[in-house]
Amino acid sequence: MGPRKPENLEASPKIDSDYSALKRLKDGTAVRLRLLRPSDRDALLEGFERLSPESRYRRFLSPTPKLSEEMLRRLTDTDDWNHLAVVAERAESDPPEGLGIARFIRLEDAPDTAEAAVVVVDAVQRQGLGHLLLLDLVEAARERGIKKFRTYILPDNEPAQRLLHELDADAEPRVEDRLRVFELPLPEVSADAERPEPLYRFLRFAAQGVVMIFRALRA
């Protein structure tokens, strides 16, 4: 399950279970960012049921007609140290409407590396939400001693092809079981730089149809 959370941290993580941040998207939509809670189970299930059969296959690498109780448990069983998820919800809706999620899962055999992915719903794509989620995910990961993100993609759709072309000079993927595997270091600088770090340029494609797969969540 990865390393345990140290009992005597010099400073508590900024992004913890009490974390909440109010942000605005490019179109003015107010969103709240916070960490995933067990009570978000039903919202995750609702989001899965809105996925097309093709999207389900791309996410789970199998024709998954229904999200099992075991998978729901894995998705919500976060400890905010080795497995952490940042969720974004529309701030002015009641109940809150989920808009996106960014997640990392630390690798047991490489504690300084974590699988990572981000998903943004169609209605708010290209409004900067993926950028906001990634900033928090990277900060939370760095606070927990993670130095690299690993992600897996199926390279058979157009956004994935654009991704591979854009990152060819910055990242050398390897191939495992038809999947392209990338490992990218967490940046030291802000993603607001003129030329954003490869990690941010890579993960932003999640909002354009590149499905990133968590092997750690597969049975």
- d(CA 37, CA 218) in angstroms, rounded, equals 21
* Omega before 173 within 30 of 0, i.e. cis: no
What would you report as the CA-atom Rg of the chain, rounded to the nearest whole angstrom? Answer: 17
Top-confidence residue, 97 or 9: 97
The pLDDT, as a whole number, for residue 191 is 47
Whether 36 and 76 have beta carbons less than 8 Å apart is answered as yes
Q: Which of 47, 115, 54, 104 is nearest to 79 (CA)?
A: 104
Domains and CATH numbers, the chain: 20-217 (3.40.630.30)
Report CA 73 to chain centroid distance, whole Å. 17
Tokens linked to 139:
């900060």
Give me the percent of the chain exceeding a pLDDT of 70: 66
Whether 185 and 113 have beta carbons less than 8 Å apart is answered as no
The pLDDT, as a whole number, for residue 42 is 84
Is the confidence at residue 146, as pLDDT, over 50? yes
Mean pLDDT on 49-68:
63
Handedness of CA 199, 155, 121, 113 (dihedral sign): negative
Query: Taking each helix axis from N to C terminus, what angle separates 41-49 and 69-76, rounded to the nearest 10 degrees?
Result: 120
Is the confidence at residue 96, as pLDDT, over 50? yes
Top-confidence residue, 58 or 75: 75
- d(CA 3, CA 7) in angstroms, rounded, equals 12
The pLDDT, as a whole number, for residue 43 is 80
Strand partners, 35: 86
- d(CA 49, CA 52) in angstroms, rounded, equals 8
pTM over 0.85: no
- d(CA 23, CA 98) in angstroms, rounded, equals 14
Tokens linked to 100:
């996106």
Split at pLDDT 50, 70, 90, the class of 69 is confident
